[in-house]
């Protein structure tokens, strides 16, 4: 009887959490820049959510909560082993559209890992907002829920992050001028 209730609970939990898992993973990977560590981090987050499942109902958005938790956990971990700088920058596996020529593919994967690295160098707030918007395609309302910033602030942070990323990319590639 108890087991039955427990299983239903887990099933419900999985239904709500599984669709978000990929997002949490990508966010963790963006921060930690390492696949294993990212998996480990979201495992931790999901376990915490599961342990506190009774309180979950009171949250407006479980996804926003999970994203927040993932961000905080990743930042904590980065702080705790700050010294071991991630060498695994090239960890992004290139999933590319098949119709691109090998040359473009190679170029893309090179520049993608460069972009990945450059995003990693942005301030925390900037990379979070940029990631949520440009990778996960969050609406401003959703970003608001996660970051607590208001709409205008989000636009400002987003704009700065995009410009900074472009600037650094051009610098790295020795392009002569801005866009």
- The mark string for 41-60 relative to another protein (x by CB under 8 A, - otherwise) is -xx--xx--x----------
Query: Which residue from 14, 52, 55, 61 is in contact with another protein, where contact means CB under 8 A?
Result: 14
Q: What are 6-12's contacts with CB under 8 Å, separation 24+?
A: 9/53, 10/50
148 burial via Cβ count (<10 Å: 0-12, 13-18, 19+): exposed
Q: Rule CB under 8 A: say whether 94 interacts with another protein.
A: yes
Closest by CA to 26, choosing from 59, 71, 65, 61, is 71
Both tokens assigned to 62: 């479980």
Only one residue has tokens 């979950």, namely 56
Q: Rule CB under 8 A: say whether 144 interacts with another protein.
A: no
Q: Rule CB under 8 A: say whether 95 interacts with another protein.
A: yes
Only one residue has tokens 């090179």, namely 110
Query: Which residue from 8, 100, 121, 124 is in contact with another protein, where contact means CB under 8 A?
Result: 100
Closest by CA to 26, choosing from 145, 157, 134, 177, is 134
Query: Which residue from 16, 78, 112, 120 is in contact with another protein, where contact means CB under 8 A?
Result: 112
Q: Report the distance separating Cα 131 and Cα 138, nearest Å.
A: 9
Q: Rule CB under 8 A: say whether 150 interacts with another protein.
A: no
Rounded to the nearest whole angstrom, what is the least distance from the CB of residue 109 to another protein in the complex? 8
Q: Report the distance separating Cα 21 and Cα 48, nearest Å.
A: 14
Q: Rule CB under 8 A: say whether 10 interacts with another protein.
A: yes
Rounded to the nearest whole angstrom, what is the least distance from the CB of residue 27 to another protein in the complex? 10
Closest by CA to 66, choosing from 113, 19, 24, is 24
Between residues 1 and 97, which has the closer beta carbon with respect to another protein? 97
Residues that bind another protein (CB under 8 A): 3, 7, 10, 13-14, 18, 21-22, 25-26, 29-30, 35, 38-39, 42-43, 46-47, 50, 92-97, 99-101, 104, 108-109, 111-112, 114-116, 119, 131, 133-137, 139, 154-159, 162-163, 165-166, 169-170, 173, 175, 179
């Amino acid at each position: 009887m108890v087991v039955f209730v427990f299983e239903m609970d887990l099933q419900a939990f999985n239904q709500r959490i599984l669709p978000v898992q990929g997002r949490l993973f990508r966010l963790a990977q963006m921060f930690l820049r390492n696949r294993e560590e990212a998996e480990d981090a979201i495992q931790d987050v999901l376990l915490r959510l599961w342990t506190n499942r009774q309180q979950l109902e009171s949250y407006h958005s479980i996804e926003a909560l999970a994203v927040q938790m993932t961000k905080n956990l990743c930042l904590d971990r980065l702080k705790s082993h700050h010294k071991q700088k991630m060498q695994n920058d090239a960890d992004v596996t290139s999933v590319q559209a098949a119709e691109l020529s090998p040359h473009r593919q190679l170029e893309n994967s090179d520049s993608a890992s460069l972009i990945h690295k450059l995003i990693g160098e942005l301030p925390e707030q900037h990379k979070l907002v940029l990631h949520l918007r440009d990778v996960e395609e969050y609406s401003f309302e959703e970003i608001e829920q996660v970051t607590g910033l208001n709409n205008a602030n989000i636009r400002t942070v987003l704009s700065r992050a995009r410009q900074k990323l472009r600037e650094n990319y051009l610098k790295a590639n020795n392009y002569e001028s801005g866009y």
